[in-house]
Amino acid sequence: MNAMTSNVLDIAEELPGDAPIGRQAQPSITPPRRRRRLGLGEALAFGPLLGPGILLLYWCVFSYTGWLDPRILPAPWTTVATARDLIADGRLPTNLAVSAVRAAEGLVFGVIAGLAMALISGLSRLGGYMFDSLVQMKRSIPTLALIPLVILWLGIGEPMKVTVISLSVFIPIYLQTHNALRGTEIKYLELAETLNLSRWAFLRDIVLPGALPGFMLGLRFAVMGAWLALVVVEQLNATSGIGYMIDLARTYAQTDVIVVGLVVYALLGLCSDAAVRFAEARLIGWRKTLS
Amino acid sequence: MNAVVRVRGLVRNFTLKGVLNGVDLEIAQGEFVALLGRSGSGKSTLLRAIADLDTEAKGSGEIVAPSKLAVVFQDARLLPWKRVLENVTLGLTGPDVRARGLRALQEVELGTRDRSWPYELSGGEQQRVALARALVREPALLLADEPFGALDALTRLRMHALLKRLSQAHHPAVLLVTHDVDEAIELADRVVVLDDGRISATLDVRLPSAGPEREDAFADLRRQLLGLLGVEAELAGVR
Mean pLDDT of residues grouped by 10 in chain A (291 residues)?
44 45 57 81 83 90 88 87 89 89 94 94 90 88 87 89 93 94 93 93 93 93 92 83 87 88 88 90 73 50
How far apart CA B110 and CA B128 sit, in angstroms, is: 8
Query: Given this model, what pLDDT does residue A232 score?
Result: 87
**Across chain B, what does the average pLDDT equal?**
89
Backbone dihedral region for residue A66 (phi beyond 0: left; psi -120 to 50: alpha; all else: beta): left
Q: Name the pairing type of β-strands B69-72 and B198-204.
A: unpaired
With CA atoms as reference, the chain A residue closest to B135 would be A195
Give the nearest partner residue to B119 out of A190, A194, A288, using CB atoms: A288
- The larger pLDDT score, comparing residue B41 to residue A22, is at B41
Is the Cβ of B69 closer than 8 Å to some Cβ of chain A? yes
Q: How far apart are CA A221 and CA A277, in angstroms?
A: 11
pLDDT at A241: 87
Task: Provide the pairing of β-strand B3-13 with B58-64.
Answer: antiparallel
What's residue A286's pLDDT? Answer: 76
CA-to-CA separations, A156 to A98, A229, B54, in angstroms, rounded:
16, 15, 58
In this complex, which of B77, B91, B118 lies closest to A188 when CB atoms are compared?
B77
- Type of residue found at B160: H
Q: What is the ipTM of this complex?
A: 0.87
Whether A289 and A216 have beta carbons less than 8 Å apart is answered as no
Which residues pair with residue B160 across a beta bridge?
Answer: none
Q: Out of A191, A209, A288, whose CB is closest to B81?
A: A209
Task: Write out chain A residues lying below 8 Å of B73, CB-based.
Answer: 187, 190-191
pTM of the prediction? Answer: 0.75
Q: What's the Rg (C-alpha) of chain A?
A: 30
Chain B positions in Cβ-Cβ contact with residue A188 (cut-off 8 Å): 77, 79
Cβ atoms of B195 and B47 closer than 8 Å = no
Q: Mind listing the pLDDT tens digit for each residue in B219-235?
A: 999 999 998 888 765 56
- The residues with which A21 forms a beta bridge, in sequence order, are none
Is A71's Cβ below 8 Å from some Cβ in B? no
Rounded to a whole number, what is the distance in angstroms from the first to the last CA of chain B?
Answer: 36
Report the distance separating Cα B203 and Cα B185, nearest Å.
Answer: 10
Q: Answer whether A195 sits within 8 Å of B70, measured CB to CB.
A: yes
Could you tell me which of B156, B153, B162, B142 has the C-alpha nearest to residue B31?
A: B142
Q: Which residues contact A182 (CB under 8 A, 6 or more apart)?
A: A122, A128
Q: For the packed helices A91-123 and A242-251, what is the interaxial angle rounded to 10 degrees?
A: 130
- Contact: B79, A209; criterion CB under 8 Å: yes
Smallest Cα distance from A198 to chain B, Å:
8
**Residue B193, beta-bridge partner list:** B36, B201
Please list, in sequence order, all residues whose beta carbon lies within 8 angstroms of the beta carbon of residue A96, skipping any fewer than 6 positions away.
A242, A264
Tell me, what's the pLDDT at B105? 95
Q: Indicate the pLDDT class of residue B205, thresholds 50, 70 and 90.
A: very high
pLDDT band at B86 (very low <50, low <70, confident <90, very high): very high
Helices A242-251 and A255-283 meet at what angle, rounded to 10?
160
pLDDT of B14 higher than 90: no
- The per-residue pLDDT for A70 is 81
- pLDDT of B17 reads 56
